[in-house]
Chains A and B, each alone.
Chain A
Amino acid sequence: MKVRIDPELCQGQGRCFSIAPSIFDFDDLGNGFVIGDGTLSADTLALAQLAQANCPEHAIFIEE
């Protein structure tokens, strides 16, 4: 499973990198981005899903 942020949808609400700083970081404008290639392990999947469930812009996608 991989996680990605759609940069067109992200508005810098800041929820993902607060909830899951091991998966997400922020750029100079405060928009979120995925650290590395976004591959999720069994351990990090739940955390990524929690971040996804807290994104007001529905900008986080978790895909096969």
Chain B
Amino acid sequence: MAETPLVQDFATDWDHSDPQWVADPYPIWEDLRERCPVAHTDRYGGGWFPATHAGVSAIAKDTDNFTSRTVVIGNGRPTELDLPAPIGVAPPITSDPPFHAIARRLILPAFAPGPINALEPMIRELCSTLLDTVKGDEIVNAGTTYAQYIPPGVIRGMLGFPEEDIEKFLEFVHIILEGIDHPEEERIVEFMPVEEYFTAQIQDHMDNPRDDLTTYLLNVELDGQKLALEHVFGTMVLILVAGIDTTWSAIGSAIWHLAHNPEDLERLVSEPDLMAVAVEEFLRFYAPVTMARLVKHDMDYLGCPMKEDDWILLGFPAANRDPVVFKDADKFIIDRAENRHVAFGLGIHRCAGSNLARLELRIAIEEFIKRYPRFDLADADSVTWAPGQIRGPRNLPIRVLQ
């Protein structure tokens, strides 16, 4: 594989996989906001990166000029074959109006606060069980033994897949996360064992309906008709892809922050009522998710000569650091009262799982600091950050303090 050249100037040659961006993107975005504010790149076949809240907001809400046909940047562009209309690979995230609203209305009830809040005891038990496995250890890898396992454990439970299948389930999650942007023919082969397992689970739920997300998807009706099984499977894939490394990253970032900001850790431990605002500030400051759009047609937009099929890197994390919208935007303020952050996106594609993500993040932090009221980073230099559009710590060794 040819070596990718390092970026010299992010204003004219941005790359969200560049090591400098992966390690610490915030100074880059600050610089771009001051002198661009829409950066360009010829990489990935051409694309734009608005670094301001105003730019991100305008594009997120503009479905006339930008399409969500694909939301993950790659070197190629999706074709009609990749994304057969109207379902697409993963509705509704890859859908545009008017189909988008239909697909979204199907899944929103399952992720509304009512059913999601009911999961609290299950999530708490899962977190507590995960912490039991490292009981007594002085060094705990909060990334690979804790944060990583929470979202898949929760989603397995929501789908109603057997608890003893958790290892198998984690392997399937891995296959899907790795393969989602592979070419269709490769993806079909890679997804085969996943499809077999999911099909068996779907069949089991058809034979034995119960109160879970799989049964909900099988029973929900679109124009008086139940969903095609491919739609059910596609929605399950979306829930896995969208709900796992995103939330895992948010949990990891929060623990990483607390590990090297002892005054914030102390406040959270002694003032549990702060948790609600603290969660929003974690989401603002360490927003894990950057989405993508494609430009629909040639146009001048935000002063830029955009071409059809140019990428837009839709940086919600960058918008969250814009000083025009947030006072002391570059400071983490644990009790920030006014926080209009956009970690879950803006407009019609607002993260459908935001209520679940928030709940998981809050409980994961609560259980962690209950178990470990004092901790720091065991080896700050060994912390690694995921590259690409989902940002969060992966290796995260924590030293438990007495």
Interface contact A56-B276, CB-CB below 8 Å: no
In Å, the complex CA distance between A17 and B339 comes to 15
Interface residues of B (CB under 8 A from A): 105, 108-109, 111-114, 276, 280, 337-342, 344, 346-348, 350, 354-355, 358
Interface contact B344-A13, CB-CB below 8 Å: yes
Cβ distance B41 to chain A, nearest Cβ, rounded Å? 27
Interface contact B109-A54, CB-CB below 8 Å: no
Interface contact B341-A28, CB-CB below 8 Å: no
Give B337's nearest chain A residue, CB to CB.
Answer: A50
Interface contact B340-A53, CB-CB below 8 Å: yes
Interface residues of A (CB under 8 A from B): 11-15, 17-18, 26-30, 50, 53-57
Residues of A within 8 Å of B342, CB to CB, are: 56
Cβ distance B96 to chain A, nearest Cβ, rounded Å? 16
Interface contact B338-A50, CB-CB below 8 Å: yes
Interface contact B111-A54, CB-CB below 8 Å: no
In Å, the complex CA distance between A14 and B341 comes to 12
Interface contact B340-A56, CB-CB below 8 Å: yes
Could you name 14 residue pairs across A and B whose Cβ atoms are closer than 8 Å? A11-B347, A13-B354, A15-B280, A18-B276, A28-B108, A28-B112, A29-B105, A29-B109, A30-B108, A30-B113, A53-B337, A53-B340, A55-B340, A56-B344
Q: A26-B113, A29-B105 are in contact. Are A14 and B338 (CB under 8 A)?
A: no
Interface contact A14-B109, CB-CB below 8 Å: no
Interface residues of chain B: helix, strand, loop or mixed (majority) = helix
Residues of B within 8 Å of A12, CB to CB, are: 108, 112, 350, 354
In Å, the complex CA distance between A38 and B159 comes to 38
Cβ distance B363 to chain A, nearest Cβ, rounded Å? 15
Cβ distance A35 to chain B, nearest Cβ, rounded Å? 15
Contact of B108 among A29, A50, A53 (CB under 8 A): A29
In Å, the complex CA distance between A30 and B114 comes to 8
Give B116's nearest chain A residue, CB to CB.
Answer: A30
Residues of B within 8 Å of A18, CB to CB, are: 276
Interface contact A30-B348, CB-CB below 8 Å: no
Residues of B within 8 Å of A17, CB to CB, are: 113
Residues of A within 8 Å of B354, CB to CB, are: 12-14
Interface contact A26-B112, CB-CB below 8 Å: yes
Q: A29-B105, A30-B355, A56-B341 are in contact. Are A11 and B348 (CB under 8 A)?
A: yes
Interface contact A11-B346, CB-CB below 8 Å: yes
In Å, the complex CA distance between A28 and B109 comes to 6
Residues of B within 8 Å of A29, CB to CB, are: 105, 108-109, 112
Count chain B CB atoms within 10 A of each CB in A26, A54, A55 and give the residue with the most.
A54
Count chain B CB atoms within 10 A of each CB in A11, A27, A30 and give the residue with the most.
A30
Interface contact A54-B348, CB-CB below 8 Å: no
In Å, the complex CA distance between A34 and B341 comes to 22
Interface contact A14-B113, CB-CB below 8 Å: yes
Residues of B within 8 Å of A14, CB to CB, are: 113, 354-355, 358
In Å, the complex CA distance between A12 and B352 comes to 9
